[in-house]
Each structure stands twice: as C-alpha cells, then as structure tokens.
Chain A
Amino acid sequence: MKNVMKYMLIISLATAITAGKGLAQKAVRKTARVQVEYFKGPDKTENLVATLIVKEKRYVPFGEAMLYFYCLNDTARILLDKIKTNDAGKAVLTVSNNPKITKDPEGKITFIVEYKGSSAVKAAQRKMAIRQGDLELSFFQKDSTKSIEVSATETGADNQRTPIAKVNILFYVQGTFSLYNFAKEKTDENGIVQVAFPVDMPGDTTGVLTIVAKIEENRTYGTIEAKGEINWGKPIQPVKEKKRGLGDTDAPLWMVYTLIVLLSAVWFHYLYVVYMMIKIKLAR
C-alpha cells in the first residue's frame, strides 16, 4: 500500500510538472513596459525619450517597435507622432515648438506613450505629466570669491515665467569622458542658487572649465541642463608630445647600437670560424 501511495505521488508530481509546462507554453505573449523621460538640453531643445523594454529572462530593450506619442488635453488625446524604437529600444520625440502640444490650466503637459502590442508582445503604455522648466547659468565674481549662479524658472499656461523654488540643482565639471559632480544645492524662493566656483579644478591650457548645472530626473520637470564655460580653472601645461623614434627618418640610437652589437658579435664569430678553417688548411 505504501508503494502504491509512493507511485501515485510520483505520477501526480510528473503530471503537475507536465501540466505546468503546458500552461507555460500557452503564455506566449511577453510583458512589455514603456519608460519615459523628459530631457531639456543646454541648447534648449526638449525631447521626450521613450524606452520600450520586454521581459525575457529579465527586461531587455525591444527594437523595431512602433511607439505612439500622444498629448492629453481636456477632451481627447492628440497623436503627436509615431516613432519606431532603435536597437536600444529608444524612440525620441522632439517636443520643442510642437504646435500640437497643449498645456492644462496649471501649466502641465501630459504625454502618453503607447505601444499597441503584437502577437508576441503585450501592449503597454505610460503617462507622464511635466512642467516646462528652464535653467540659466551665469558666473560672477565678488572681491576674490568666484561663484556660479543658476536661476530656475518654469513657463506656465499663459507663457509667464515663474521661479522654481526648493528644487535640487546639481553642479558638474565636464571631464574628458564624464561629468564630475562638485555641488548639490536647493534653489531659494526666487529660484536662485549660488555655489562657489571650483577654482582648484584643472581646466585646459588656458584654465577654461565647462560647468554643467542640472535638475536631474525630477518628477515635475524631468531633466533640465544648462552649460557654461569660463577660464577660472587651473591652467594645465600642454602634454609635450614625445618624440617617436620609429616615425622619424633616423632610427633611435639604442636600436642602431643594438643592431651593430648583435651583428658584429655574430659576424666576428663567423670570421673566427673562417680563420679556424684557414688554420685547418695550414695544419695539414
């Protein structure tokens, strides 16, 4: 009886596993997810960057898929554009000067990005509301103190600019390969923030540094960036170009000497052996 129970249990388990597999095979449509970021660059261009990811073992970018960009107003959603994702799963919509975009009375723009799905991938959409902000970056010097000032403003429904208060501004110095963060401050009631200029930072040969101020991934304003250049950094000496012997008309001396020593050593022995041969001939 015990054995019968054991076999029953094994058969049940096997059936359950097989059935599980069968069920898994039925669920062929993959889950998709849309991520949306709003980005305003230093040149004041505004972009809405949508990324479509699909769940394989983990979420991976999904290319060659059509994304629909809408703007939501009081009554309906207006199609702004439809753009295919690239290999990185990204599709970029230029927001600046788009006449179809409308703001609500509070000055918010509401975007909807939609993926309509396919036979293999489920549909997905993401809604995002942003306010159009702006950053102005300037440099000023008071006595011997050098400072950076950033003014943050937003444009309302009536296109009037009002200061953005209590928002985090991050300050960076542009390096060769990436940005180096050196300060993080909140704006005051007037939307203004001041930080000391990093005068000990090495600039180029004339001390020019590129300063970047950012509102980063803010829920209300997205990412806004402002950039400015000034020669307040530490000038660095230009790297002296090393003389490359191989590219010159004349070979490097060490190479010439090595070659002479090696060849002389070998040929000296050859000549010595030839001398031995002469001695063999003479010693008959």
Chain B
Amino acid sequence: MELDAKATRALNYFIPQMVSISKSGMVQVGILLVFILGGLYALVVQIVEGHIVTGMRDNVVWGLYIANFIFFIGISYAGALISGILHLLRVEWRHPIIRIAEIITIISTIIGPAYILLCMGRLDRLHHLALYGRIQSPIIWDVLAISTYLIGSIIFLYLASIRDLAALRDYPFKQKWRKKLYRFLAISFNGNAKQNRFLERGLTIMSAIIIPLAVLVHSVLAWIFGMTLRPGWHSTIFAPYFVVAAVFSGTGVLIIALWVFRKYYHLESYITKIHFNYLGIILMILGALYGYFTFSEYLTSWYGSETWDMEVLYKLFDPHEYWWWFFFSAILGVALPVLVILIPKFRNINSITAVSVIAVFALWVKRYLIIIPTLETPLLPLQDLRPEYIHYTPTIIEWLLTFAGVALFCFLFFLFSKFLPIVSVVKGEEGTNYAELRKKVMQRVLKRKIKEEKRKASQKLQHI
C-alpha cells in the first residue's frame, strides 16, 4: 500500500517503539506483572477456600467485585461513544485519540465481566445461564448486551485499524510472526478506491450502531439495580444516570491514557493541548450533567422520606459511616473537574489530567456507594445478626483482585501498543465532509433567498 510522507514518518516513528522495550518500560511491566500474579494468587485462594475469604456475606452479597464490574463497563463506554460520535461527525482532531479510546473499550469490556465470574459462587453452573436463563431477567439482558457490545467494539476497532495493518504488512519486519499476522489481518487491503469505499461504509455503520448499543449496555446494567425494589436502587433515572456517569468516568480514563502515552512514547506532536482542552470541556459538561443527576436522585429520595430510603441516606450522610466517601464522590469529585476546567487560567494538560484522576477515582467510589450501603440496609428489621453479616469490609483477597484488574488493564494496553501504533498512522479518505456539506447547504439557502428577493423586487416594479 502506498503511504504519503506523513504516514511513512509516523510509521518509522512508531515501529521501533513497537518492537523494543526500554529498561524503565521493563520495570513498569514487571511491577504490573507482580500485581497480576498477586491477583492470581488471590484467585487460587478464593477457588480453594471459597467465598468465605471475601467480605461478602448473606446480606451484602455484592462487594468490590461488582463495583469494579460497573466501573470497567463504565469506562468502556467512553471509547465507543467518543470514537463513534467523532467518526460520524468526521471531527478532524479525533485521529490521535480514537484508537486509544477504542482500546479502552475493548480491554475494559473484557476485564469488567471477569469480576462477575469472581463474584459468582458456583462457576460450575455458569452454563445454566444459557440453558435455563429467563429472558425477563435483567441479568440475561446484561449478558446479551455486553457480549454483543464486545463483538461490535472488536469489529469497530478492527475496521478502524485495517489501513494501519496494511501499512504494517508492507513494512520489512524481522519477526516472521508479525509478517504473517499483519498479512492475515490486513485482508489484502491496498487502499484502492473500491476498498476505501467498502471500508468507510463499514466504519460508518459500526460507528452509528455502537452508540445506541453502548447506551443500551449501560442502561441494562443500571436496570439490574433499578428493577429491584431495594432502597437506593429503585429509581427511574438510574439508566440515564449510569450512562452519564459512565461517559464521565470513561472520558476521564481516556484523558489519563492520553497523558500516559504522550509522556511514555513522546507523542507531543500527535497528542496536543487541543485534544486535552476539547476532552476537558467534554469532561466538564458531563461532570455538570452528572452532578445534576446526582442532586436530583438524592433530593427525590430525601424528599420522599420513605423509611428504608432514609436508612440508606442516613448511612451516606453519617460521618461515622459513608459521609466522607459520599462527599468525595458526589461533591468534590464533580465540582473540582468542573471548576478547574471552567476557569481558563487553570486549564492546562496537567491540571485536566489531575482532575480526570480525581473524577475517575470519585466515580469508582460512587459505584461502591451504590452497592454497599443499600445491601447493608436489609428490608427486614433483622435482629440478632452478627455485625459482619450486615457490615461489609473488603478483604485483602478482594483488594488483590481489584489491583490485579487495574494492572491487567494497563498491561493489556501495553501489549496492544506493541502490536499496533497507539495513534492511527494512515488517515482514511473521509466519506462526508460535514463542513463542506454545511457550506453547500448554506450557499443553496442563500441563492434561494436572493432569488426570492429578486422576484419580490420585480413584482414591486411591475406594480409601480
């Protein structure tokens, strides 16, 4: 495939980074592997000894694992939505960030559901889900939605990478496996007009379908909670609330990933301040929207004063229980990103990344606060229960598996960057240029107006 000078330069910049690893890189990967091995150890302990090694008991049946599940599915969302929307609108600045966004989607959609498996007591009965699953159960909707979403995301990423895969196929790599792999994945793409047309059509379809699919996936996830009658969960706004929270946290993770890769691979000329500014503004708007949903959710609960809802709210507002976490997740974690990005003086790459870290951590805490206080509030006034059956405290096993998940996320990202350039190298032929289209439409409208004015003027003249 023929490449222009810019693409050739980019390829020559990325390929050495793909085939080698620096000493500091090896240390970082080593640290990640230590965390992953720690997680594996915890997994073995949990399999051998059972769920008694976790903090989950009869009442609090969901803990860190489910919080992690929602968190990872949430951040997967940003990739799909941001890349889908930016692709559909043919936004020019999308190119350097779109692949990172798509990789976030796929990796987190793989890691997230793994936490469900960790939470399940009887994995040997997993196939019962397919054999005896009930369509009316939101859990089944979730399984169907997430698997469909994962496949869609893989197809989308693959389509968006075909041009780069073709360029890599034509590069004289020393490793034979790379040559074979790229040849297989490039599906004989050489960039001719027909192939470009088919590819653009496929990309447009996938980017259009991935957006409602992503909304649906997170809505279904919210309905798992919202469909129950439990205090703190039974809410009609849970689906849009989850969707907004997901895009908020996902955008935060995308900004952090951009910052890390920019530093790690020295991509200052590809990922510029403008990307951080634009994503920062998206983060700010989403933060404000998320804050609005949060306020609406808690105000309605508090105003209704339903007994069990109030029990949950008292827990959240009690300084001896969850108040400080609630304050961090619902107030500080929202207000800080909005304010820092809102004031132009504070808006720079590092500050935007810093508030993204705060927002992402706040949203993780929020997921924890959605699950635990509600489950610690059983709907029956149970008596004579041991405190550990009502109060949940995560164990070291759960923490190890949580950190392992984060480490695996980073490690898979690292692996991916060794296989494909982290930034799109070859730009495609754009289908519809919306700026041009808008110009044409405006010109047409203007012409019509001028014509009408002329007609009116001639009518007046005739009248005179």
List A residues at the B interface (Cβ < 8 Å). Answer: 245-246, 251-252, 255-256, 259, 262-263, 266-267, 269-270, 272-274, 276-277, 279-281, 283-284
Judge whether A259 and B201 touch: CB under 8 Å. no
Q: Which residues of B contact A269 (CB under 8 A)?
A: 205-206, 209
B199 located at the interface, meaning its Cβ lies under 8 Å from any Cβ of chain A in the complex: yes
List B residues at the A interface (Cβ < 8 Å). Answer: 134-136, 141, 144, 148, 151-152, 155, 159, 162, 187-190, 192, 194-195, 198-199, 201-202, 205-206, 209, 213, 216
Separation of A281 and B188 alpha carbons in the complex (Å): 5
Closest B residue to A277 using CB positions: B187
Judge whether B194 and A281 touch: CB under 8 Å. no
Judge whether A273 and B188 touch: CB under 8 Å. no
A–B pairs, 21, beta carbons within 8 Å: A245-B136, A246-B136, A251-B135, A255-B135, A256-B135, A259-B144, A263-B148, A266-B152, A269-B209, A270-B152, A273-B202, A273-B206, A276-B199, A276-B202, A279-B194, A279-B198, A280-B162, A280-B189, A280-B199, A283-B198, A284-B189
Majority secondary structure of chain B interface residues (helix, strand, loop or mixed): helix
Separation of A270 and B195 alpha carbons in the complex (Å): 18
Q: Which residues of A contact B205 (CB under 8 A)?
A: 269, 272-273, 276
Q: Which residues of A contact B201 (CB under 8 A)?
A: 276
Say how far A133's CB is from chain B's closest CB, in angstroms: 40
18 new A-B contacts at CB < 8 Å, known A251-B134, A277-B159? A255-B135, A255-B136, A256-B135, A263-B144, A263-B148, A266-B209, A266-B213, A274-B155, A276-B199, A279-B194, A280-B162, A280-B187, A280-B198, A280-B202, A283-B192, A284-B188, A284-B190, A284-B195
Q: Which residues of A contact B209 (CB under 8 A)?
A: 266, 269
Say how far B224's CB is from chain A's closest CB, in angstroms: 14
Separation of A256 and B134 alpha carbons in the complex (Å): 10
Separation of A246 and B190 alpha carbons in the complex (Å): 53
Count how many pairs of residues, one from A and one from B, have CB atoms less than 8 Å apart in the complex. Answer: 63
Judge whether A273 and B159 touch: CB under 8 Å. yes
Q: Which residues of B contact A255 (CB under 8 A)?
A: 135-136
Q: Which residues of A contact B148 (CB under 8 A)?
A: 263, 266-267
Closest A residue to B202 using CB positions: A276
Q: Which residues of B contact A251 (CB under 8 A)?
A: 134-136
Separation of A245 and B136 alpha carbons in the complex (Å): 8
Separation of A281 and B148 alpha carbons in the complex (Å): 25
Q: Which residues of A contact B192 (CB under 8 A)?
A: 283-284
Select which of B136, B195, B213 is within 8 A of A280 by beta carbon: B195
Q: Which residues of B contact A267 (CB under 8 A)?
A: 148
Separation of A263 and B213 alpha carbons in the complex (Å): 10
Q: Which residues of A contact B188 (CB under 8 A)?
A: 280-281, 284
Separation of A162 and B124 alpha carbons in the complex (Å): 81
Closest B residue to A249 using CB positions: B134
Knowing A251-B135, A256-B135 are in contact, say whether A270-B202 is a contact too (CB < 8 A): no
Separation of A255 and B140 alpha carbons in the complex (Å): 12
Q: Which residues of B contact A273 (CB under 8 A)?
A: 155, 159, 202, 205-206
Separation of A251 and B188 alpha carbons in the complex (Å): 46
Knowing A269-B209, A273-B205, A283-B195 are in contact, say whether A252-B187 is a contact too (CB < 8 A): no
Judge whether A270 and B199 touch: CB under 8 Å. no
Q: Which residues of A contact B202 (CB under 8 A)?
A: 273, 276-277, 280
Closest A residue to B162 using CB positions: A280
Q: Which residues of A contact B136 (CB under 8 A)?
A: 245-246, 251-252, 255
Judge whether A283 and B152 touch: CB under 8 Å. no
Q: Which residues of B contact A259 (CB under 8 A)?
A: 135, 141, 144
Separation of A272 and B198 alpha carbons in the complex (Å): 11
Q: Which residues of B contact A246 (CB under 8 A)?
A: 136
Closest A residue to B152 using CB positions: A270
Q: Which residues of A contact B155 (CB under 8 A)?
A: 270, 273-274
Separation of A220 and B136 alpha carbons in the complex (Å): 63
